[in-house]
Chains A and B, each alone.
Chain A
């Protein structure tokens, strides 16, 4: 079974600063996909960034980047130049290549302080 762990239930960061959200997972699969989703107060789930496990290069999307450590089964999200609109719950998700479902972590509630 796949499990995803987000050990930081809540975090806060000053506007314009950088914050890192952690995510670890447990799997016996060698190839899989990893995602970070953002859930603002509206509760809509919005994709932030995605990563293929067989790619060494860390994914980057504007102010968002990941630190993917496959051996350590770690997939952390770094948000640079934090903005007030980044305030949301962030979920890490895992999916097997031949799989059908996302396995979500318990989420990290991020608050950006003006």
Chain B
């Protein structure tokens, strides 16, 4: 069964450094997402991406964040200058976007745990 993959599984970085989190969505999916989950808290939406542009973003997704789909398979989240409060699990998700309810189901990757020291 196709699945969303994310690399790395764990990233440790120093405050102020840039990090890039990578995701490979399911190949025939059209919508892509990043979410984050601070330990012990709920999953929060960051950004959605469709047709090579951001379609929606939350207040969390400020100028320090950017997303890119550099080729036909990868979907990346860049944090330009990390802060301590960026420490969280970051989930990538994708959905098909067609086929009724099934097209709205989001498939999540296993997450990247980001630790900012």
Q: Is B43 an interface residue (CB 8 A)?
A: yes
Known A-B contacts A45-B43, A45-B91; A100 and B56 likewise in contact (beta carbons under 8 Å)? yes
Query: Which residues of chain A from 61 to 114 have any CB-CB distance to chain B below 8 Å in the complex?
Result: 91, 95, 97, 99-107
Task: Kindly report which residue of chain B lies nearest to residue A95, judged by CB atoms.
Answer: B104
Chain A contact patch, size range: 20 to 34
Contacts of B31 in A (CB 8 A): 100
Q: In the complex, what distance in Å separates the CA atom of A33 from the CA atom of B100?
A: 10
- Asked whether any CB of chain A lies closer than 8 Å to the CB of B111, the reply is yes
- The winner among A35, A42, A43, A99 for most chain B CB atoms within 10 A is A43
How many A-B contacts if CB must be within 8 Å? 53
- Indicate if B98 sits at the interface (CB-CB under 8 A): no
Whether B50 and A102, one on each chain, are in contact in the complex, defined by CB atoms closer than 8 angstroms, is: no
Judge whether B55 and A100 touch: CB under 8 Å.
Answer: yes
Assess the B108–A45 pair: CB atoms within 8 A: yes
Give bound CA distance, A44 to B44, whole Å: 15
User: Nearest B residue to A4 by beta-carbon distance?
Assistant: B42
- Counting chain B residues whose Cβ lies within 8 A of the other chain, the interface size class is 20 to 34
Q: With A45-B43, A104-B42 in contact, is A50–B111 under 8 Å at CB?
A: no
| Interface assignment of B58: CB less than 8 Å from any CB of chain A | yes
- Chain A neighbourhood of B101, CB < 8 A: 33, 50, 52
A66 to B43, CA, bound (A): 21
Q: Which residues of B contact A37 (CB under 8 A)?
A: 108
CB pair B104 A43 closer than 8 Å: no
Beta-carbon nearest neighbor of B45 in chain A: A101
Complex contacts, A44 vs chain B, CB 8 Å: 108, 110-111
Tell me if A47 counts as interface (CB < 8 A to partner B): yes
- Nearest-Cβ distance from residue A24 to partner chain B, whole angstroms: 15
**Residue numbers in A under 8 Å from B107 (CB-CB):** 47
What CA separation (Å) do A103 and B42 show in the bound complex? 10
